[in-house]
Structures are given as structure tokens and as C-alpha cells.
Chains A and B, each alone.
Chain A
């Protein structure tokens, strides 16, 4: 029998960026908050030996243990979904800070176009640009409405940037810290882009460029460019994450009770109110009920959607009828780009997760799509994240994959090659969605989240076009050999691509179009909130965390408002 604990004002499910932000804001406002984290406590002191490519980047020490829980996957409804048995395409987080611990720290704001994509696309290209199989929709909030929350997140995280992007939405303030250092590789990209009449700017970075004290009084240290960001925690406390910013802020108030090894398995409900959550202590095996006046789902995309589905809250999407919103609009990202092989040697092993220069000239609707068979585009960047020897074995085309020639070429080009990559936007399609798997279960007996996904015609066209643009820049940079990324075919869950999964619990203007309103409050259950990149109605051509951080601040405001007034906030 589950043991029922004393009720609190707010319970959050997961304590990463979103759970940390909601906890900090609510606790500062005087609400009693419980944060349930299924993983363990961790912080800067635990990253002392983090410069270990094998342990962290190859064997995924900071990531979700798939023996307990994973997702199942199929390309389309005619296939049998099978479990993702080992990590590959995306790296799910676990533990305090979630996937925001092992991120690179690139912190963009989505474009004004993104938030009104349906209206603006129809206006410029007519109503049938993409055809009826694509479910693009406005988000229910404009860029201007979200701007103060973007500003707040950037200040909390101390983002470093240069304000030179002419395509950016209006900013109320400059970046809180100056841009990162410009390395020779970056300067070469900048020059090439400028020669091509493009608009290069420094990647906005949560690898903070100087020691910074945020408005909550938390200190973030200066980045040392050690080359270990992605898949690693920061041993310097120089990469913004929940565990060095919002979590300590929440704890200082005395109103935040943070519980580890607490895996939530159900949202409890009576009538149209959530009453709390049921969770399992993963160490003792005991079951607890945590009653709360407001329940906030703050875990990753897949788990937020899954908890709603297993708790039978909301109508699940049915691709046959098109009815239901829960699980709809699942999107990923498309990765166009070009590799370049040079004669000169670069210090490729130095770097930082967000050290880079980029352009938005081919992102959003910043270029004319009239004669193109796709919409949107992608941010094209050269990043110097610090390549490591196991993961980086670049060879020119036609080199064998093993043996003497492989060894020679991969060693030679380790410091003589790099890629220009883009994050291509992903548009929702009727046949791409999340549901519950009928066969496979997690360690707690719940169905796995099932992912039905494939690349679409829009994706293929976008990929081809943007790869060619990346190759143009690479050519201007003087590469000896240029290899544009091969055209994409079917989505494959095996190779790592990006952890920018979105959709499934979409934010919307009306209950017919999504799961939550623009306070991230559930349309059907007004004391239930769900915030994650699952709220994105499509995925833009950027890293998601900046926009996600903004939505988390918006959500926190909603929870506080709800605690005062009750009812629907819109």
C-alpha cells in the first residue's frame, strides 16, 4: 500500500532546468514545493574526473539507464515497434539537472516567425504551401509576449553573446555577459560568411565567458575551454545548469524539499482536479502518494507525455481520425551540413560546447521560399566543441573504415578537418506521433512510450538545400575537400543525431489544438501543468533550451497565479 504524505502547494516531476525554474520561482513566492527526481544528487564536485571520454561520452555515465526505461520505435504504423535497447539517436538525461547537465549550452531564442508560423507562412505563400498532411500551427503566444521570459532565462543562466544577429526578434536587453573568445577557426568562418554577404554572429553560450553573478545571487564561473561539455558535466561550474543556478536558489528559500530516487508513475486525479502523484522510491521499493494543490510535469518530452497517457488525462492522438491532441506534433531535427578537410592543422581538441559562429540567413523565413518545396530552414554554425579521439575519426571519402589507410587518414585529419553543421527545423506531420507501446514495459510495469516517426518530404528538401549552403561556406573557407552530408532517407534511431526531441504535449491557443494553454496549464485539469520541449508545436532550426527556459518561467508564473486565483488562466 502506498503511504500518503502531507500535502504541499506544488509538486514537480523531475528536477532539471524546467523543474528547477518552477521550484525556484514558486519557492521564492512562498509556496511549499516538493521536487521528485528519479535519479541521484549530483553537482560540480562530482565532475572532478569528468575529462574521461570513454566513461561519459561513449558509455553515457550521466544518461538514463535504459535497463529500467526506454522508448520503443518504428518508422511507420505498418512496422512493429521495438525498444531502443541502447542509446543512440538522442541521449536522455537522468539525475539532478537532467539532460541540462550534459548539454553544450547553446542558448538561442526561437524566431518571431516560429511562434506564428501558420499565420505567417499562409500570408506569404498562400494556404497550401506544405499540403494538408503537415500540422503546422501558431503556438498560442507571440515572440513579443515571450520576450520578458527569454530575458529572464538568459539572465539566470548568464548567457554570453554578441547581439549581432539582425534576424533576431527584438531584445529588451543585451546578453548578460560578453561573447566567448573567437578562435582562428571561428574567425575563418566569419570571414567566409561575410564574403558571401551573410550575417555571422557568435553562438549565444551558457559556457559563460566571465565570472557572473545572476539575479538570484548564484555565481557561474568563467569557461576554461577544456573541450569537455557535451555529454559531460562541468568541473568548473562554468556551464550553466539547474544544479548550479535555480536548484540552490530554490533550496535557499527553505520552501523546497528535493527528493532523489523518486520515480513518479501516476498523476492522481479526482473529477477535473489533479490531487497529487504516486511515486516509487527506487532504492527501498516503497510507494508514496504526494498530494499537492498543483502538479507540474517537468521531466523530458517523452516522460511528460507518457505520464499523461498512463494516467488517462486528455485525449490521445489518433492518426487515423486526426482526433485527440496528446502525442501529436512529435518533431525531431534535421541535420544538414558539410565536412571540410584542410591541409593546415587546427587545435580541434580545444573548445567549449557553445564555442561557435553561426548565421540565420537560411533559418526561419529569413529567405524566400517561393520557389522552394519546403518552409523554414536552419541555423548554420561552425562550432569548436573540442573533438575527442574515440568519437572523432574523420576520413576523406573512399577511405576504408579500418586497417592501415584508415589509421593513417583518421590520425592525419583529426586536427585537419571540421564540419559546418545546421540544425534544420522539423515540421509536424500527421503520421509522426507518440503513443503507448502495447507490448514493452518499463521496470515499474508501465508501458514504454512508443515513437512513430520518419523523415518527410519537407525534411528531405530542407536537408538538401541547407547542406548545399553549408558547403558554399566551407568552400569559401578554403577546404581542400568538401563533403556535403548525404541526402537523408529513413530516420534511423541508431546513430547519434540530436537530443532535441519536441512535441507530444503541445501548447496551443485553443483546447482543440493542443494539450496545454500558454501558461502550460492543462486544458482539462487546471491545477496540472506540463512544461518541456513537448510544448513546441514544431521544432525550429535552433537548440531548444533557450525557448524551453522561457516557457518554464512562463509556467512558473502560471503556477503562482493559479495558487492565488485558481481556475483557468486564459
Chain B
């Protein structure tokens, strides 16, 4: 699985920070470690939320609220990783748990468009008039992911999950350009949603299930939630500040 590599870097992280799993109490690292344990296939008794897990582990965000099967979740995961890949700066979308973030968002208000005007009649309109679909975001994602699979089958006679990165990029680019036929929405709109959701998952507070271990923030030099910068704001030197999540508030 593509996440194996990431587990290695998680282990390295634990080693280099001198923290052993199971000895941590409190603080923002708990979530990150729990995520590590559950994610590590066959490396932990915590997998699938075993009976001996801590409360924190059973409360882990790494379960699916929206996706119903592994194939679709894996297509989403791989697509987000192409958009925001792992590199020498740090983890990509999968390492940051972006797919879980998107899964949770699709299961909630975001997915059901609860704060959008969804009354008809529906009309395509001009690009300057924006989103005019009768579909919710959840429906658009479901359809979009199926279309990505269909496109892989059509072009390469393989599942999207089994094609190589370059082939994935070709398909994603076709979506971005609006070249893929979708119902009730353009593929360009779906791609824009997917891209935006990927960045949201990489950089939102870790309480939403993405930005694991705040590594998205750490890569970017964003310190997350800080009470004040009044003592540093006039300083000419760039300030490297260890990020802080809202959970520590």
C-alpha cells in the first residue's frame, strides 16, 4: 500500500523525537501517535480499534463516515496525493490524512450543502454566475470518483488504483480541463472541488482529521493557533514557531 512508506517516516519521527508509543500523556501529540498505531497495518494491537485501546484511540478520526468501499476511498486517496504529493519537504495528502478529512467533510454539512441555496429551477448559466448544480458536493464526489475509475478503464483497461502516476495525472488533467463528461456538473468543477478540499485537508486544524501531526503547517511555516504575536510583530527576523493546534487552547 502506498501508505507503507509513510509509516516508516512516522517511525523515524518517533525515534528522532525520542518518544515511545504508550508513554505519552496529554498534549497535541496524542492524536498523531494514535493515528500512527491505527494506520500501521499489523504493527499494532490498536488496529481496528481493539478492546485494549485507549479512549483517544477509539476516538480516532481514521474511520470512514462517507465512503462505503475501499476502492473508492483509495481512488480519492491517490488523486489527492497527485495533487499534493509527498516530497523532501514532508508528507503528501495521504501522509497528512487528507482522504479522511475529505471523507468526514462529505458526511457532514459540507457534503450536503446545508448552507447553500439549493432551490430550483436549475440552469447552467454563465461561468460568471458560478455553481448552479442541483447536485450536492457528496453527489459530485461520488460521481467524480466513479468517472475517474471509468476513465482509467477506458484509457488503460485498468482500475485507477492500478495505473501509474503519470497516467493518473493525464486523467486528472482531463478532468481539470473539463474534458470528461459528467452529469449535472462539469468535470472542471469537480476537479476544482477536489483540489480545494485537498488543500483544506492539508492545512486545516488537525481536529478535522487531516493535517496529521500538524505537518502541513510545519512544512509551510504556519504556527497554527497562537495567542499573540505582539512581542514579535516588529522583529525583522523570520520567526520559526512550533505550531499549536486549537486542541491545546
Contacts and interface: CB of A to CB of B under 8 A. Distances in A.
A490 interface: yes
A48 B247 CA distance: 12
- Looking at chain A's contact residues, the main secondary structure is loop
Contact of B129 (A67, A73, A223, A403): A73
A271 interface: no
Interface string A368-407: 0000000000000000000011100100000001111011
Given A389-B217, A402-B84, A349 B222 contact: yes
Name the residue in B116, B205, B221, B233 with the highest tally of chain A Cβ atoms < 10 Å from its Cβ.
Answer: B233
A350 B125 contact: no
Contacts of B172: 402
Given A225-B230, A390-B203, A415-B221, A493 B235 contact: no
B130 A390 contact: no
B85 A404 contact: yes
Interface in A65-123: 65-67, 69-70, 73-75, 79-80, 82-86, 88
Nearest to A344: B238
B233 A403 contact: no
B48 interface: no
Contacts of B82: 402-403
A183 interface: yes
B234 A58 contact: no
Interface in B69-126: 82-85, 87, 89, 92, 109-110, 113-119, 121, 123, 125-126
Given A347-B238, A388-B222, A407-B87, A85 B200 contact: no
Contact of A347 (B205, B224, B239): B239
A366 interface: no
A415 B240 CA distance: 11
A492 B126 CA distance: 9
A59 B83 CA distance: 21
Contacts of A441: 119
A345 B82 CA distance: 28
Interface string B47-68: 0000000000000000000000
Contacts of B126: 74-75, 79
A39 interface: no
Contacts of A52: 204-205, 225, 246
Nearest to B88: A408
Contacts, number: 173
A476 to B, nearest CB: 19
Contacts of A390: 199-200, 203-204
Contact of A82 (B110, B118, B132, B204): B132
B117 A393 contact: no
Nearest to A390: B203
A60 interface: yes
B227 A66 contact: no
Interface in A23-81: 48-49, 51-54, 58-60, 65-67, 69-70, 73-75, 79-80
A83 B117 contact: yes
A439 B121 contact: yes
A227 interface: yes
B222 A408 contact: no
A345 B238 CA distance: 6
A74 B110 CA distance: 26
Contacts of B132: 82-83, 85
B131 to A, nearest CB: 5
B85 A54 contact: no
Contacts of A226: 226-229
Interface in A339-366: 344-347, 349-351
A411 interface: yes
Interface in A319-356: 344-347, 349-351
Contact of B127 (A223, A388, A404, A492): A492
B232 A350 contact: yes
B239 A59 contact: no
A52 B249 CA distance: 11
Contact of A181 (B176, B216, B233): B233
A350 B249 contact: no
A403 B83 contact: yes
B8 interface: no
A390 B227 CA distance: 19
18 contacts: A49-B246, A52-B204, A52-B205, A67-B113, A67-B117, A73-B128, A82-B129, A86-B130, A182-B234, A222-B230, A224-B229, A225-B233, A347-B232, A350-B239, A401-B195, A402-B198, A407-B89, A491-B128
Interface of B: 82-85, 87, 89, 92, 109-110, 113-119, 121, 123, 125-132, 169, 172, 176, 195, 198-200, 202-205, 208, 216-217, 219-230, 232-236, 238-239, 246, 249
Rank and list the top 10 A-B pairs by shortest CB-CB distance, nearest first.
Answer: A224-B228, A54-B204, A389-B203, A350-B229, A345-B238, A51-B225, A494-B130, A492-B128, A402-B83, A70-B117
